[in-house]
């Protein structure tokens, strides 16, 4: 049985990516959550809970979630976990079959993993929250425009093959799934094709499950 160690569902964008990819394989797995924040603290607060680092280091020397445990194999870093899942579950087709599309899928997932710092800082993941009308920096606006460009180009190139970036669901979609939640949280207006793509991601059964769990988590934290 695989175990995926993740952070709070409302805020842990890095956890969502491999969680969604693993869900899409259909394989059973155990989920273990390490709470990152004091329950009830605002999603936008950068303050982690006391003692967190020790708890994280107990499962991952790098001191971060997500971590995948598969028997004697331990994998950390969301991208490496997704690559491991693609190899472990080849029948799930977590990358596009065609080498040229697979190359683009890896490139955009890597771009997401390594970049978009302004968007990540200013549009903090807060699955449950709604913060429309915020003013974004030029850097964040450029990041948003680049995401829209990627989504629009991929959808145009793969129209008719399915609603995701390369038709069927791939790791590239897992990497952009937190962005779909961020755009909804912050009321970012999107062109029709990008909005249709974001809606398709948010409507995936595992995404609805993650969002419902985030709502329950926040409601529990809000209780006195």
Lateral strand order in the sheet of 73-76: 29-33, 2-6, 67-70, 73-76
- In angstroms, give the least distance from the CB of 80 to ligand GSH: 8
What's the longest Cα–Cα distance across the chain?
53
CB atoms near residue 61 (< 10 Å): 10
The residue (of 15 and 158) whose beta carbon lies closer to ligand GSH is: 15
Pairing of strands 2-6, 67-70: antiparallel
DSSP symbol at 2: E
203: which 2 tokens?
Answer: 């409507």
Stretch of 19-27, 61-69, 130-138, 175-183 lying at the interface with ligand GSH (CB under 6 A): 61-69
Cα angle 218, 178, 31; round to 5: 60
The residue (of 78 and 158) whose beta carbon lies closer to ligand GSH is: 78
Q: Does 78 bind ligand GSH (CB under 6 A)?
A: yes
Q: Mask: binding to ligand GSH, 20-59, rule CB under 6 A, as x and -? A: ----------------x-----------x----x--x---
How many residues touch ligand GSH (CB under 6 A)? Answer: 16
The residue (of 152 and 213) whose beta carbon lies closer to ligand GSH is: 213
Q: Does 197 bind ligand GSH (CB under 6 A)?
A: no
Q: Does 129 bind ligand GSH (CB under 6 A)?
A: no
d(CA 32, CA 168): 28
Closest to 199 (Cα-Cα) out of 175, 215, 183: 183
Closest to 221 (Cα-Cα) out of 84, 45, 55: 45
Q: Does 96 bind ligand GSH (CB under 6 A)?
A: no
Dihedral-angle region of residue 88 (phi above 0 means left; psi in -120 to 50 means alpha; beta otherwise): alpha
26 Cβ contact list (under 8 Å, min separation 6): 92
> How many residues can be counted in the chain?
224
- In angstroms, give the least distance from the CB of 119 to ligand GSH: 15
Q: Does 64 bind ligand GSH (CB under 6 A)?
A: yes
- In angstroms, give the least distance from the CB of 123 to ligand GSH: 14
The residue (of 168 and 206) whose beta carbon lies closer to ligand GSH is: 206
Stretch of 13-21, 134-142, 153-161, 206-214 lying at the interface with ligand GSH (CB under 6 A): 13-21
Q: Does 14 bind ligand GSH (CB under 6 A)?
A: yes
Q: Which residues bind ligand GSH (CB under 6 A)?
A: 7, 12-15, 36, 48, 53, 56, 63-66, 77-79
């Amino acid at each position: 049985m695989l175990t995926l160690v993740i952070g709070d569902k409302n805020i842990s964008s890095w956890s969502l990516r491999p969680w969604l990819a693993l869900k899409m394989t259909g394989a059973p797995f155990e989920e273990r959550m390490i709470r990152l924040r004091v329950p009830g603290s605002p999603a936008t607060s950068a303050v982690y809970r006391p003692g967190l680092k020790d708890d994280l280091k107990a499962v991952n020397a790098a001191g971060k979630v997500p971590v995948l445990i598969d028997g004697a194999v331990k994998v950390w870093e969301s991208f490496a976990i997704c690559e491991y899942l693609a190899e472990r579950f080849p029948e799930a087709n977590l990358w596009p079959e065609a080498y040229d599309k697979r190359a683009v899928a890896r490139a955009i997932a890597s771009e997401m993993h390594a970049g978009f710092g302004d968007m990540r800082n200013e549009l903090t993941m807060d699955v449950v929250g709604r913060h429309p009308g915020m003013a974004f920096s030029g850097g964040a606006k450029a990041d948003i425009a680049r995401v829209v460009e990627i989504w629009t180009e991929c959808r145009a190139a793969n129209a008719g093959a399915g609603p995701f970036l390369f038709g069927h669901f791939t790791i590239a979609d897992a990497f952009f799934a937190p962005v779909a939640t961020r755009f909804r949280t912050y009321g970012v207006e999107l062109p029709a094709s990008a909005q249709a793509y974001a809606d398709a991601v948010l409507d995936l059964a595992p995404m609805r499950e993650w969002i419902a769990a985030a709502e329950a988590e926040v409601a529990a934290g809000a209780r006195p």
